[in-house]
Amino acid sequence: MNMDELKAKIEADFKGHILSAFITPQKELIVILELESYLSVCQKLHDIPEYGFQHLSCLTAVDYPKENKITIVNHLWSYQHAHQLTVKLDTVRDYPKAPTVENIWKSANWFEREVFDLYGITFEGHSDLRRIMMPDDYQKYPLRKDFSDDGFIIKPN
Amino acid sequence: MTDLLLSQIRTGQESQFGTDEYVVNLGPQHPSTHGVLRLIVRLDGETVKQTTPVLGYLHRSIEKICENRTYPQCITYTDRVDYVSAMSVNLAFALAAEKLMGIEAPPRAQWLRMIMVELQRIASHLLWMGSFAGDLGALTPLLYGMRERERIIDLFEMTCGQRLTYNYIRIGGVMIDILPEFVSKCRAFLDYFEKCMEEYEELLTYNPIFLERTKGVAVIDPEKGINAGVTGPALRGSGVSCDVRKQQPYLYYEQIKFTEALGTDGDCWSRYRVRMDEMKESVSIVRQCLDRIEPGPIEAKTPPVLKAPAGSEIYYRIESSRGEMGIYLVGDGSAKPWKAKFRCASFNNIYLLDELTRGWKLADIMATLGSLDMIVPEVDR
Amino acid sequence: MITGEKIVQWIAGLVHWIYGVFHISNYANLLDIVVEAVVMFAFVAVFVMFLVWMERKVSAHMQSRIGPNRVGPLGLFQTLADAIKLTIKEDVKPVHRDKIPYFIAPIVAFVATFMGLVVIPFDQGVVVQDLNVGVLYVIAITGFTVIAILTAGWSSNNKYALLGGFRSAAQIVSYEVPLVLSLVPIIMITGKLSLNAIVLYQQQAGYWFVTIQFIAFIIFLTSATAEANRAPFDIPEAESELIGGFHTEYSGVKFAMFFLGEYIAMVVSASVATAVFLGGWLPLPFLHFLHLPGFVWYISKVLFVIYLIMAFRWTFPRLRVDQLMDFGWKVLIPISILNILGTGLAILINQGMK
């Protein structure tokens, strides 16, 4: 399916469950979801053969401190139909929580651990949520925009 | 290692005969883990019960650094993300940034990029072959692979002056044009390399000991592989057609004739076979590119300060030597990316290591790790 | 013509004259033994030094490199430099080791293999001690290395070393059987166990045993490679898996002893192979006119067999532990038993025809 057909189909199928769907100037289809329907929409995108998004290419997060949100971004790809989709979910920056998509795509297991480690988003229902890059007893979340190294690195004057 | 991790590992029950399980640390310093990867292996005699990878020993926070550097400055960091196959990561970032900013590189630059990336694929697979055979105990193919890789690196050195971290593929084109003797030397190398491939096939492919070590070991089921995010030759060994060059062609791959190398069984030997075939395909691709390249400019006209429009983002995927490499860039109107994410193939490929090695022997962990072609700087960034 | 016997007599004469100078000729019997041991040790030390250089050069040429070429002409003194380096190295010992076994293990590894050289015939009449149970003695001695390796693995207090020790014990014990079984047909044909007698039989018969017992030769060579812990059977010291295997925690002279022990085991196995299968110090039938002394033939044949063993190491990948056991028990032993049956039948038919 090409981009416009896919957008039309998604808007038709998930009416009321998605916040918005738009095509960017760089020719990518982005769908923004809301917290309640995140899991069910993702499950349908994986299961329904016309979508066929079997491959979770990347799961990451972007920090927008000015809008007080951290956005979780999923990039999906379908091997059968060769179409790409970006699914986003906004979480509140102060208490970031989101459901886990680990049971839909196994690759999300380590991706979500990395997001937890570097951004501090708690994924509910994750089987093994602990830090992956930083040491286990590290207290901060490095990739957030307000991360400071607290004098750990001595900068020359 | 914290108690949390230890307690999670020691949840195995002791068998009825009263034997104890053996927790061995294939620690960060190890000749066979291709870098600083730590594996905590729970063994019952020689049989593996559970493998837990511990990552982060090579975490250099490249993604955070890229948020504080301009787009052209980020290209130098991409070399270090996968230093064995640096041209591929350069290319991924350059293509992503170009699409983000709406820049189109001239044709000669695109052909040059294709030549460099395919030569890099051969070089990376040669290193893989050497270390894979070396892990299994055959120490000779390592040196043969290095001998051939030297010639490719000489070609790169002739072009951009660097042997490992090239910084050659820039946003808008390439750094510098190739010298006139590059074409003849490249063709001479390709002819010589085809003969060498026959030598390697004779030495390894149907060697009974090699077959015993790799046939049937660590089979990746295609469904599980796709679900776990395995990409590249590791997935193609199971018969899944997943080459990004065929599915979402970039550069001029649509105009080039090449076949995707697919395996049949999904075991270590199939993945070995896929990579050997890929090397042959790369040779043919480079030959076609050398035939079709035309003189012309090598850099597009770009503004002096490259800025991405505010609120823009892009996710660009290419087929690097190890699998699918994806770059996610978010622009905010300034000269520096708001977010740069490197989706690296090795990170996902070793997720299945635990499942694949359960019930096999300690020596099979080496064979599996080698056949997945994992490289730690990609895993940790 | 210079023969090995003449050289030995000349050296013996010199030594007895030295006894006379120091007025200790009464103790000649006792001192002879000591002198023989010292001479053997010196010979072995030089030979092993040469072998280490040869291994490095052979492996280098097989891997399209050059190998040592700076220390001495053609790099011949490289091993001397390595030996000096190993002796002046700091002896790093793990704190929680088992002190006495840790100390004894390398000594046993070296001495056990060294003892095997007692029955090897270098030339006609040049044997340290021509035991009439020569073959049996050599096989018994090579079993000693198991103890050394197990002790080393256990006393190092290191999981890798222990794994390496277990693997090695299993491997050596299982490959002893085909080693012995491949020699049994020869013993059946000649009726003697002494290595010197086997060589003399080949001289009288006019042919070497490798021509009629080729399968036994191959089995013996394979088992000997496994006994010496060399690739493709070098699981115990698999560098890419267990770093050092059983000798991970040894450094300096102790490591040198293990290293030496491995090479001497190789020399002993190669010597037994040449004596039994390749005719020992007998010249090649069509090169008889060269009139070379017997020990030159002997050394060149031993070097040929060692070259084969070295070529195996740099060509084949390593076998996994269970595949190694499978190969030893399920392949080599049945073939060698069939070989014994076949030889027995051939002997009976031969006798029946007479």
- pLDDT digit string, tens, across residues C128-178: 888 888 888 988 888 888 888 888 888 888 777 787 788 788 888 889 899
Task: Give residue C184's domain range.
Answer: 88-353
What pLDDT score was predicted for residue B18? 58
A18 and A11 Cβ atoms separated by less than 8 Å:
yes
Examine residue A106 and state whether it is found in any structural domain, yes or no.
Answer: no
C233 touching B, CB under 8 A? no
Residues of chain B with Cβ-Cβ distance to A75 below 8 Å are 315, 326, 328, 343
Q: Which residues of B touch A128 (CB under 8 A)?
A: 8
In a domain? residue C36:
no
Residue of B nearest to C236 (CA): B363
Name A154's Cβ contacts closer than 8 Å, sequence gap at least 6: none
Q: How many residues does chain C have?
A: 354
Q: Domain containing A35: what range?
A: 3-100
CA distance C114 to chain B (A): 28
What pLDDT was estimated at residue A113?
92
- Beta-carbon contacts of B31 under 8 Å, excluding residues fewer than 6 positions away, are C239, C240, C243
Backbone angles phi, psi at A102, to 5 degrees: -60, -30
In angstroms, rounded to a whole number, what is the distance separating the alpha carbons of residues C202 and C181? 20
The helix/strand/coil state of A64 is strand
Query: Average pLDDT in the C93-103 region?
Result: 87
Question: Residue C240: its pLDDT value, please?
Answer: 47
Q: How many CB pairs under 8 A join A and B?
A: 94
Instruction: Determine whether the interchain pair B366/C239 forms a contact, defined as Cβ–Cβ distance below 8 Å.
Output: no
DSSP class of B227: H
Q: Is C42 part of any domain?
A: no
Rounded Cα–Cα distance for residues B174 and B177 (Å): 7
* C-alpha distance from C319 to closest chain B C-alpha (Å): 6
Task: Please provide the average confidence, as pLDDT, over all residues in chain B.
Answer: 87
pLDDT band at B279 (very low <50, low <70, confident <90, very high): very high
How many Å apart are CA C141 and CA C123, to the nearest integer? 22
List the beta bridge partners of residue B40: B25, B52
Q: In the predicted model, is pLDDT for residue B6 greater than 70?
A: no
pLDDT at residue B304 tops 80? yes
**What average pLDDT does this structure show over B291-318?**
89
pLDDT at B5 over 80: no
Q: A38: Cβ–Cβ under 8 A, 6 or more apart, which residues?
A: A89, A98, A99
Number of domains in chain A: 1
Average pLDDT of chain A is 87
Q: What is the CATH number of the domain that holds A40?
A: 3.30.460.80
Establish if C216 touches chain B: CB-CB under 8 angstroms. no
* CA pair distance C265, C110, nearest whole angstrom: 9
B361/C317 touch (CB, cutoff 8 Å), yes or no: no
Q: Does B207 touch chain C (CB under 8 A)?
A: yes
- CB contact, 8 Å: B27 with chain C? no
For residue range B48-71, what is the model confidence (pLDDT) as tens digits?
Answer: 888 888 888 889 989 999 999 999
pLDDT tier for residue B2 given thresholds of 50, 70 and 90: low
B35 CB neighbours in chain C (<8 A) are none
pLDDT at B330 over 80: yes
As a whole-number percent, the residues of chain C with pLDDT over 70 amount to: 97
User: How far apart are the C-alpha atoms of B254 and C78, rounded to whole Å?
Assistant: 57
Q: Residues B366, B134: contact at Cβ < 8 Å?
A: no
CB contact under 8 A, C322 and B24: no
Answer whether A84 touches B (CB < 8 Å): yes
B14: confidence class by pLDDT, cuts 50, 70, 90: very low
CA dist B346 and B377 (Å) reads 9
- Judged against a pLDDT cut of 90, whether residue C318 lies above it is answered with no
Higher pLDDT, B138 or B95: B95
- pLDDT the model gives residue C192: 85
Chain B residues 123-142 with CB within 8 Å of chain A? none
* Mean pLDDT value across residues C302-309: 92
CB A37 within 8 A of CB A117: no
In this predicted structure, the answer to whether residue B1 has a pLDDT above a threshold of 80 is no
Contact C63 B144 (CB under 8 A): yes
The Cα B75–Cα B58 span in angstroms is 19
- Residues facing A61 on adjacent strands: A72
Q: What is the mean pLDDT of chain C?
A: 85
Contacts of B314 in chain A (CB under 8 A): 26, 28
Residue A151 lies in a domain: no
Instruction: Give the highest mean pLDDT range of B268-277, C35-44, C286-295.
Output: B268-277
In this complex, do C317 and B46 lie within 8 Å of one another by their Cβ atoms? Answer: no
Q: Is residue C214 in a domain?
A: yes
**Whole-angstrom distance, CA of residue B344 vs CA of residue A10:** 29
B10 touches chain C (CB under 8 A): no
Interface touch B312/A26, C-beta < 8 Å = yes
- Interface partners of chain A (CB pairs < 8 Å, 3 or more) are B
ipTM confidence score: 0.91
* Residue B45 contacts A, CB cutoff 8 Å: no
Q: Which residues of B touch C62 (CB under 8 A)?
A: 140
Q: What is the mean pLDDT of residues C32-55?
A: 88
Q: Is the pLDDT of residue C290 over 80?
A: no
The answer to whether the Cβ–Cβ distance between C320 and B144 falls below 8 Å is no
CA C43 to chain centre: 14
Q: Which of B48, B209, B215 to mutate to test the interface with C (most CBs of C within 10 A)?
A: B209
Mean of the pLDDT values across residues C197-212?
Answer: 87
Out of A26, A56, A142, the one facing B64 most closely (by C-beta) is A142
Q: Is the pLDDT of residue C288 over 60?
A: yes
| Angle at A115 (CA atoms; ends B380, A141), nearest 5 degrees | 90
Interface residue B229 vs chain A (CB under 8 A): yes
For residue C335, pLDDT beyond 90: yes
> Which residues does C40 contact at the CB level (< 8 Å), separation at least 6?
C114, C117, C128
pLDDT of residue C127: 83
For chain B, residues classed under CATH 1.10.645.10 are 62-350+360-380
pLDDT (tens place) for every residue of chain A, 157 residues total: 788 888 888 888 888 888 888 888 888 899 999 888 888 888 988 888 888 888 999 999 999 988 888 999 999 999 888 889 999 999 888 888 889 998 899 899 999 999 999 998 999 888 888 888 888 888 888 888 888 877 666 667 6
Which pLDDT band holds residue C74 (cuts at 50, 70, 90)?
Answer: confident
Q: Do B2 and A136 touch (CB under 8 A)?
A: yes
Position A37 in a domain? yes
Chain A interface includes B60 (CB < 8 A): no
Interface check for C15 against chain B (CB to CB < 8 A): the answer is no
Q: In this complex, do A82 and B247 lie within 8 Å of one another by their Cβ atoms?
A: yes
Nearest CB partner across the interface for C315, out of B46, B140, B364: B140
C111 touches B at CB < 8 Å:
no
Domain annotation covers residue C60: no
CATH number of the domain located at residue range(s) B62-350+360-380 in this protein = 1.10.645.10
Tell me whether residue C6 is in a domain: no
Q: Is the pLDDT of residue C246 over 90?
A: no
Contacts of B46 in chain C (CB under 8 A): 163, 167, 321-322
Minimal Cα distance from B2: which residue of A?
A: A136
Tell me the CA distances in angstroms from B11 to A132, B357, C112, one per residue in order: 20, 18, 44
Across the range C22-45, mean pLDDT stands at 83
Quote the strand ranges of A52-153, DSSP E. Answer: 55-64, 69-77, 84-92, 97-99, 122-124
| B106 — pLDDT class (breaks 50, 70, 90) | very high
Distance CA B379, CA B59 (A): 8
Q: What would the mean pLDDT of B191-209 be, rounded to a whole number?
A: 89
